[in-house]
Structure 1
C-alpha cells in the first residue's frame, strides 16, 4: 500500500486531499498544528500527525514516525500555507519572513527530509500546492505572491534534479476555493492597511475577494491531487478551481500592462457592486 504525507490537513484542501487519498487506497498521514481539528479524519482511518512546518524538530519527528510505522513514503503533498496581505510598506519584515517560513521553507525542509527515503526506494512523488498566485500578481499581495513564485521556481528545479531517481515533482495551481484562506487574507489586509494611504485599494480588493470566495469546493483540488498522484506520467502543473483556467490564459496572452488594466478593472468593478 502506498504511503502519503499531507500537510495543512486540518481544513480545506489538505483535509479533502487526505480523505480522497484514503479512499484511493493510500495509507495517509494527515499533518497539521491543530490535531483536535483532525478528529474526523482519524475516525475515517486517516493517521493524524501534529506538525508545525515552521518547527524543524516537529517536521523531523513527523517524517521519522511515518518511516518507523510504514517503512516508506511514496507521496508528499506540501499543502500547508496561508495568505498575508497588506501594503508592502505597512507589512513588517517579520511578517514577510514568517510568510516565507510557512509557504516556502517549511515545504523545502520536508522535501529535504523525504527525498532520501524516496531515492532509496527509487520512486516517489512530491506535489507542491502553489496557486494561480504563483503566476499572477495583485496589489497589496507582494509577500504572498513572492512565496508562491518561489514555490514555482523551486519545483521546476527540483523536477529536473530528482528525475534521475524516479521522483516526480508536480505543481498544483488552485484558483478561488472555498476555504479559510480568503478570510485570513482579508483580515490581515484590513489590519495592516485598512486605514491610511491604501484604504481605497483595501476596500476594492476586499470586495474582490468577497466575490471570488464563491469559488470551488476543496474537493475539486483534492481530486486533481489524487489524479496527479496516480498518473503514470503526471503533468508538471495542474490548474483547477474557479477562474484558474481563464486567469492563467489571460496572463499568458496579455502583456504586463494589459494584465494590470484587467485586474485593476476587476477590482474597481467589485468595489462598486
Structure 2
C-alpha cells in the first residue's frame, strides 16, 4: 500500500496573524493540488469557507492534547497515517524580557513550541510504521536573530530551529524528512495598528518604562500593514501565497532542503550576521529596528 499523502495543518484560523494567513493559503494550495488536507484551528466557524471548498476541517487547540490526539486519530482512520504534518500554529507575544509576566511567557511556549513538539510526537508512530513522512516546521526570519520587544516569541522560533535539526537526524532511518520554512516578514501578519493592539499586560511596567519605544515599535511595523500597495520596507516582504508555494515544495521535493528561506531579507541577513560579527551585527540591529 502506498504511504499516506494526507496533510494535517495546525493553526489555520479565521483571521489575524501569521498562522491564519499562511495556514489558510497552504491548505487551499495543497487541496487544489490534490492532497487530502485536514485544516485545523481553534475556531471551526472561521474555517467554513475551507470546508465549502472540500477541505476537511477539525477543531484543534495545540495546548489541548485531547484535541490533537483526536485529529491524528481521525486522519489515521481515514488514510492509515498522517503523511505530512505542517506545524504552523503560532502567535506573537509582545513585551520586554524583564516586564512580561511569566504566565504569558509560558502560554507563548505552550502554543509555539510545546504544542508543535507534542503534535510531532503524535504523528511519528504512524509515519514510522509506513516508513515515510514529511514534517514541516514554520519558523521565521526571527528564528535567526532577535530584536527588542518580541524576544519571547523569537525564542520559540530559535527553539523550533534547534529541535528540527535534532529531529531530522533522529527520524532519517524511517525516511521521514524534516524541513524548516523561514519566511521574511509577511505582509499583514502580526502587524499592530496601535499600542493597544500589542496586548501588553496592564499588570506589568512595560507601558510606563517603554512608552516611547512601543509607539516607535507600532510605527515601524506600519510598513508591513499595507497589503495592497506596500511601500518602503514593505516591498521586501512576502505574501502568504508565496510561503504556501514553498511549503508545497518542501513536501513534494524528492530531496527537500533542510531550510527554505522565503524572500530577500531572510536570505541576506543570515550570511550578513556571519560576516559582520557580533558587535557590527548589533550595530545594524540598533540602527534598523526600533530601540528603547
Q: TM-score range by the shorter chain?
A: over 0.9
| Distance across 1 between alignment mates of 2:188 and 2:133 | 28
Report deviation, 1:53.
Answer: 0.2
Higher mean displacement: 47-56 or 16-25? 16-25
Partner of 1:243: 265
| Distance across 1 between alignment mates of 2:21 and 2:193 | 13
Partner of 1:82: 91
Work out whether residues 8 and 31 of structure 1, in 8 Å CA contact, stay in contact via their aligned partners in 2.
Answer: yes
Report deviation, 1:264.
Answer: 1.6
Matched, 1:202 2:214: yes
| Distance across 2 between alignment mates of 1:125 and 1:78 | 11
Pairs aligned (count): 270
Report deviation, 1:143.
Answer: 0.8
Partner of 2:231: none
Matched, 1:51 2:60: yes
Report deviation, 1:180.
Answer: 4.0
| TM-score with structure 2 setting the length | 0.87
Using a 3 Å threshold, how does the CA distance of structure 1 residues 6 and 28 change in structure 2: closer, same or farther? same
Partner of 1:255: 277
Work out whether residues 192 and 218 of structure 2, in 8 Å CA contact, stay in contact via their aligned partners in 1.
Answer: no
Partner of 1:8: 11
Work out whether residues 135 and 178 of structure 2, in 8 Å CA contact, stay in contact via their aligned partners in 1.
Answer: yes
Report deviation, 1:24.
Answer: 1.7
Give 1:1-273 correspondences, 5 Å limit.
Answer: 2-10=5-13, 11-183=20-192, 187-188=197-198, 195-213=207-225, 214=234, 215-241=237-263, 243-267=265-289
Q: Secondary structure at the match of 2:54?
A: coil
Deviations 1:87-140 (A, max 9, x none): 112210000001000000000001100000000000000000011111111012
Deviations 1:241-265 (A, max 9, x none): 3622223332232212212211221
Using a 3 Å threshold, how does the CA distance of structure 1 residues 64 and 169 change in structure 2: closer, same or farther? same
Report deviation, 1:268.
Answer: 5.2
Work out whether residues 190 and 202 of structure 1, in 8 Å CA contact, stay in contact via their aligned partners in 2.
Answer: no
| Distance across 2 between alignment mates of 1:58 and 1:183 | 30
Q: Secondary structure at the match of 1:196?
A: helix
| Distance across 1 between alignment mates of 2:50 and 2:290 | 41
Using a 3 Å threshold, how does the CA distance of structure 1 residues 257 and 212 change in structure 2: closer, same or farther? farther
Using a 3 Å threshold, how does the CA distance of structure 1 residues 236 and 140 change in structure 2: closer, same or farther? same
| TM-score with structure 1 setting the length | 0.92
Work out whether residues 84 and 185 of structure 1, in 8 Å CA contact, stay in contact via their aligned partners in 2.
Answer: no
Higher mean displacement: 152-161 or 69-78? 69-78
Unmatched runs of 5 consecutive residues or more in structure 2:
14-19, 226-233
